[in-house]
């Protein structure tokens, strides 16, 4: 017969504390309050059909295709139907507030930071030995070996090895500054002379440089980035006081006693 383990709210809160998750939790609470209060100030309303659409999206994202799936999911996360509606509501408010604040700023931001949105299609191998990397670089230039052969020989991770070191499309910010400078100065297709980084010698084949285009996907990404930066700024302005302040004071007093004993 299985035993019953009872867990109280105090147990949960204590676990959050000793798992050092309080700062993350406090930031999430502050974020929610900032969104709801600011949305109220600018008179953002949530229509029933908007709430329904976001609720449907949440169910789709979590593969809650049947009513029983939804109930199981709600029980797993200890959410009531009202909690679920609040979750959907804050999602709608967040999206609408982001659009209200930054939709008109996306295009100017894009053109101001256009260099950051250039993309590069690269194949990469990191070698431990700089001399070996140079030898392979010259061998590549002479056509004595292919990049795929180097990848098969020197990449340990199976999937990356099978892909020949293919990294997909990455933007300038995804690379170390010294690596980005070399990649975006290349004339593809081009093998770059090994770049020395802390992990080793970077051997990179630049297949293509992709011109930035302000499509819907990038617009959404910039909007999210601007909104996230704004939220961080708002949080930084706050003096957040929690019920744990007294605990902290007691901890400092205790630590002072320990220091005095030593």
Burial tier of 165 (Cβ tally within 10 Å: 0-12, 13-18, 19+) = buried
In a domain, 57, yes or no: yes
How many structural domains is the chain composed of?
2
In a domain, 257, yes or no: no
Q: What is the pLDDT of residue 261?
A: 43
pLDDT band at 253 (very low <50, low <70, confident <90, very high): low
Give the domain extent around 16. Answer: 9-112+217-245
Q: Record the tokens describing residue 172, joined without a space.
A: 């300038």
Q: What is the pLDDT of residue 248?
A: 57
Supply the pTM of this predicted model: 0.78
Q: What is the pLDDT of residue 98?
A: 98
Residues 132 and 179 in one domain: yes
Residue 12 has pLDDT above 60, yes or no: yes
Residues 191 and 145 in one domain: yes
DSSP line for 77-123: TT--HHHHHHHHHHHHHHHHHHHHHHHHHHHHHHHHTGGGG-EEEEE
Average pLDDT over residues 186-214: 93
């Amino acid at each position: 017969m299985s035993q019953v383990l009872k867990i109280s709210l105090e147990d949960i809160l204590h676990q959050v504390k000793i798992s050092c998750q309080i700062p993350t939790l406090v930031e999430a609470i502050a974020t929610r309050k900032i969104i709801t209060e600011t949305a109220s100030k600018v008179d953002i309303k949530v229509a029933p059909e908007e709430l329904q659409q976001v609720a449907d999206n949440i169910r789709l994202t979590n593969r809650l295709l049947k009513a029983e799936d939804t109930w199981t999911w709600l029980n797993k996360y200890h959410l009531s139907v009202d909690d679920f509606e609040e979750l959907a509501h804050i999602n709608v408010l967040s999206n609408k507030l982001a659009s209200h604040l930054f939709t008109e700023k996306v295009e100017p931001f894009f053109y101001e930071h256009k260099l950051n949105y250039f993309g590069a299609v690269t194949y990469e191998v990191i070698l431990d030995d700089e001399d070996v990397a140079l030898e392979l670089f010259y061998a590549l230039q002479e056509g004595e070996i292919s990049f795929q052969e180097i990848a098969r020989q020197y990449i340990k991770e199976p999937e990356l090895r099978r892909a020949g070191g293919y990294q997909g499309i990455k933007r300038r910010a995804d690379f170390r500054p010294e690596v980005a400078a070399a990649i975006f100065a290349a004339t593809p297709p081009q093998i770059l002379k090994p770049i020395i980084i802390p992990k080793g010698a970077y051997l990179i084949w630049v297949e293509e440089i992709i011109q930035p285009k302000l499509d819907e996907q990038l617009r959404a990404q910039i909007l999210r980035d601007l909104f996230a930066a704004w939220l961080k700024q708002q949080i930084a302005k706050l003096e957040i006081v929690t019920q744990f302040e007294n605990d902290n004071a007691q901890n400092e007093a205790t630590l002072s006693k320990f220091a005095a004993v030593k």
